[in-house]
Structure 1
């Protein structure tokens, strides 16, 4: 047969395979969790243990949203996944073993589990090296370049919509794969890692930690500096930015708080039984294999010792496996977590009604907060204008929200008191001593930069740091200023009478903010018509109505 004829036959054979693939009938191998039904169809594996193991992988990915985290959880819990072992004795044998990363990755990225038939996901590339042909196989193609993709081809373990969502999450988890992916969740307390993009150069912002304990976080744009040796672009602390974005997220999610609390209660109940269900199915499978090994042993001639000895060994191994699965199930029952009590349920519902309480709860980890933020925010474009950090939040649904956060000045730190505290203490220092200022600040609910209450020494330290002069005795009287009590004593009136005069506008007075002392100037007191005000505060005139009678008491 000539080379031309061989080439024609090869081309026709390949085209016949492609035609069969276009009809969705070509199955060279079948993924775990499926079996061939006839020659041209596939269906779910009838083995319940296999189906539930595959479902468990997808449920865990919905919760953890990371292939690596799913893999680590399966290894940590000791949950085995099925794998195909092709042997000569059995064409397709199922073995159970602890999964490796590639096994979990294959399950979560294979479209067959979404009920789709795909062909041509990989291709080959021919190159010439040192004068010889070299073929590189297994090069992955983009989905748009697949030769065949038939959706709703067979029954799947998840919908095609959920499969596409999972692929977007996996793509976003890729680190150092361009400017678009956000990257996987990293360790640390900063909440916006991977979400911030520089509004000046368009690069993603990096995260860094410093300080004596390594707990002081910063966001900074260093792409141009690392790649081109230029100056750094922007950088700022994380505290105020994280707080502003968290507050905005909580405001958006508040209507969904109760629904999330109810789902958390249901999830806690489901998770407690997932591993037990997996072990129960493994025990059932082990018992079947032990019974099958016993039937094989009973069917053999006892005098045929070479065969009987091997079957006896298999039976003993199957019985040991049954014992191990039973011990594992008993251990789970002994260490079974207690169901949520009524008080815990009420606590969850209370936190669901108040998401801010749940957000700052001691058991809420930074990882949980990051997952919540990533679930609702796609990206945040940030730029620095003057002394403010301007942020444009791009939500997952397509909405946009502009936020602005004041940036610390050079030399300042995150533990500085709010700007309004300095103005308030500067005004109060001209009216009250440090001890009275501390008492007033505590009544107003003001705290220091470290969220502590105010004391006389803290007020004194704050004044010295901000060059605020100390209050001197009789300082107000020298300026001709009086408090509410001093004005009442000077006029010979009650304090409430003077306060009513101020509220009525008859007496001019100043108050820096609600709760601070009223200050009345000397010239305003001199201009006040005391007799007129006293007349207003006297008895009301008698009624002129003829229907009313006057009773005289002796």
Structure 2
């Protein structure tokens, strides 16, 4: 027995630690696994009782670069630290760890607890200087060996990539032909779906809208899987945002061979490498870029434009003042406004309930250099109105060209959608025919197989019928073909752009998209003298510049009730209660100065402030008996009917007579029609109704 192995070591357990880097090595490198298990026999030969020999094989298939996820290694470290282990066995130092830090940590703990380290070459005592030097060298060599292997492998991959010969899993829409060249997918449905996604992004401008278009129109999105067991299999499913975004970000669709777009970064948490983060590199750091390497779906310039558009659409870019995509807010000039004072982009800010009041604010300096406060801010209402009026006036006789372009675009969209449906129907008919051929080729005596194939055939026929029904529904609902009446309607609407702009069906987002097609940028500059206002400079896409002046209200003006609202209250006051006036104002979409709906108390306060009287609230007028509008007071109606006022009260409370008060505690007025008189005539027996 070796002199380094003492009785105190044999009284403790011997731990055999097994590890291989990947599951593939465990599956195919069987000899290495058997050699590691054989270390238990060596421990027995060195004097350990078999009951004290423990084998840890839970880390087979796990990398030694880090201790994350290696439960058996942590168990080994804990047992050694508690002094329960007399010796640890491994095939070589690299089995314990490929990291020098983890390797030396294990050696330090073994030295503290007098634990031996045993491999195929010998037995080492970490407390012995010479053995510690050898163990340290073994750890360093293991790390150096790993580094060398990585350099050779990465160098070979890079050299092959520079020739465009390194093969990776192709994106959906491409496959490798027998010669190893990247070619378009032979399935026309796959090609049509990819082309449709790029076309919709050109039209809609956001990945989310493209995804929503596929989902709303029930258009499946293809995906080829390349993992083991599913090499090249085609699956159809719903489009999701991540797949559409990956499609738009992938330069392979431009016909360009690219290598080195990403790099791996270790994420350290609590002193341990918990995970590996994939970081996208900027384009100038890509290692290999070979243009025109294969057939393309889009051009390189369109790919760059798509990436720039996606960058601007992201929330981070929006917070930094990028243009972004038109959204639902009421600020009409969102993404177009720049500050005339400092040149930075101005952002919309919303105030009031539901963001009913918008303002444009220049605050980019605070985000860039930490400057406190904002450059300046201005209410959006007056500016939006001035720009809207000017833009609508700018439309000319060339609107007919716009209408024809819109008509052509709608027809192209309908044709693309119909083409996608036809390809889906063609695939479903093929699968149904194939299922029938399989069933027809089965011998009738083989009933087990025949029943299965018959059921499969019926399922394919059912799927085909459902798809045909869905196509007919889409053909009717989505208008895959434009009728002659629809064509004429489009031409007529295009001749009256203001009607489209002001239509209730036109959303804020659509108005912003229309404006973005005409206007490139708008600069706002405050003017304080001689009159408080805002200079608006409009830069059109044609290069022309227009200049407008809009009023810039003070804080007092912001909270002053508009003149139009006061005039409307004056118009509605006669014959209506404050509650009815408030309801009418709210029905017309008007809001008070703080952005909320009008109330009964609010209307009463405005009437008091602006001296708007309600004639029917005056008791003197009530004594006259009948108002100019033909309403009766209580006493006048009682006298006309020859009854007491309490009878009138009774009829009012029972709903026999319709009555109202303009304000609280004001006289009651009664609406008397011939039908009401006839009803009352039947109820009165003592005194006849006085004739007119």
The equivalent of 2:378 in structure 1 is 236
State the 1:174 CA deviation.
Answer: 1.3
State the 1:33 CA deviation.
Answer: 1.0
State the 1:403 CA deviation.
Answer: 4.3
Q: Tell me if 1:191 matches 2:336.
A: no
* Alpha-carbon distance between aligned partners in 1 of 2:277 and 2:373, rounded to the nearest angstrom: 44
State the 1:52 CA deviation.
Answer: 1.0
Alignment of 1:276-315 (within 5 A): 276-300=418-442, 307-315=449-457
* Alpha-carbon distance between aligned partners in 2 of 1:395 and 1:323, rounded to the nearest angstrom: 52
* Alpha-carbon distance between aligned partners in 1 of 2:284 and 2:544, rounded to the nearest angstrom: 28
Q: Relative to 1, partners in 2 of residues 1:79 and 1:19: Cα closer, same or farther, differing over 3 Å?
A: same
Q: Relative to 1, partners in 2 of residues 1:296 and 1:267: Cα closer, same or farther, differing over 3 Å?
A: same
State the 1:124 CA deviation.
Answer: 0.9
* Alpha-carbon distance between aligned partners in 2 of 1:359 and 1:87, rounded to the nearest angstrom: 52
Verify the 8 A CA contact 1:79 1:98 in the aligned structure 2: yes
**For 1:390, which of 529, 535, 547 is the aligned residue?**
535
State the 1:292 CA deviation.
Answer: 2.2
Verify the 8 A CA contact 2:337 2:347 in the aligned structure 1: yes
Q: Relative to 1, partners in 2 of residues 1:257 and 1:15: Cα closer, same or farther, differing over 3 Å?
A: farther
Unaligned runs of 5+ in 1: 419-449, 451-460, 466-554
**For 1:406, which of 551, 563, 567 is the aligned residue?**
551
Q: Relative to 1, partners in 2 of residues 1:416 and 1:279: Cα closer, same or farther, differing over 3 Å?
A: same
Q: Tell me if 1:269 matches 2:411.
A: yes
State the 1:252 CA deviation.
Answer: 6.7
TM-score by length of 1: 0.65
Q: Relative to 1, partners in 2 of residues 1:351 and 1:279: Cα closer, same or farther, differing over 3 Å?
A: closer
The equivalent of 2:276 in structure 1 is 136
After superposition, the C-alpha distances for 1:452-499 in whole angstroms (9 at most, x for unaligned) are: xxxxxxxxx9xx99xxxxxxxxxxxxxxxxxxxxxxxxxxxxxxxxxx
* Alpha-carbon distance between aligned partners in 2 of 1:284 and 1:353, rounded to the nearest angstrom: 41
Q: Relative to 1, partners in 2 of residues 1:133 and 1:367: Cα closer, same or farther, differing over 3 Å?
A: closer
After superposition, the C-alpha distances for 1:356-394 in whole angstroms (9 at most, x for unaligned) are: 555445554322221133345454443322112234445
The equivalent of 1:51 in structure 2 is 191
* Alpha-carbon distance between aligned partners in 2 of 1:294 and 1:310, rounded to the nearest angstrom: 12
Verify the 8 A CA contact 2:321 2:347 in the aligned structure 1: no
After superposition, the C-alpha distances for 1:296-354 in whole angstroms (9 at most, x for unaligned) are: 34445555566555444433332222121122123334546396566654554455456
The equivalent of 1:75 in structure 2 is 215
State the 1:108 CA deviation.
Answer: 1.9
Whose radius of gyration is greater, 1 or 2?
2
Verify the 8 A CA contact 1:22 1:148 in the aligned structure 2: yes
RMSD of aligned Cα (Å): 3.8
TM-score by length of 2: 0.53
**For 2:474, which of 313, 317, 332 is the aligned residue?**
332
Verify the 8 A CA contact 1:74 1:99 in the aligned structure 2: yes
Verify the 8 A CA contact 1:179 1:204 in the aligned structure 2: no
Higher relative contact order by CA 8 Å / sep ≥ 6: 1 or 2?
A: 1
The equivalent of 2:13 in structure 1 is none
* Alpha-carbon distance between aligned partners in 1 of 2:289 and 2:396, rounded to the nearest angstrom: 41
Verify the 8 A CA contact 1:64 1:70 in the aligned structure 2: yes
3-state SS in 2 of match to 1:239: helix
* Alpha-carbon distance between aligned partners in 1 of 2:418 and 2:329, rounded to the nearest angstrom: 33
3-state SS in 2 of match to 1:188: coil
Paired residues in the alignment total 421
The equivalent of 2:153 in structure 1 is 13
3-state SS in 1 of match to 2:399: helix
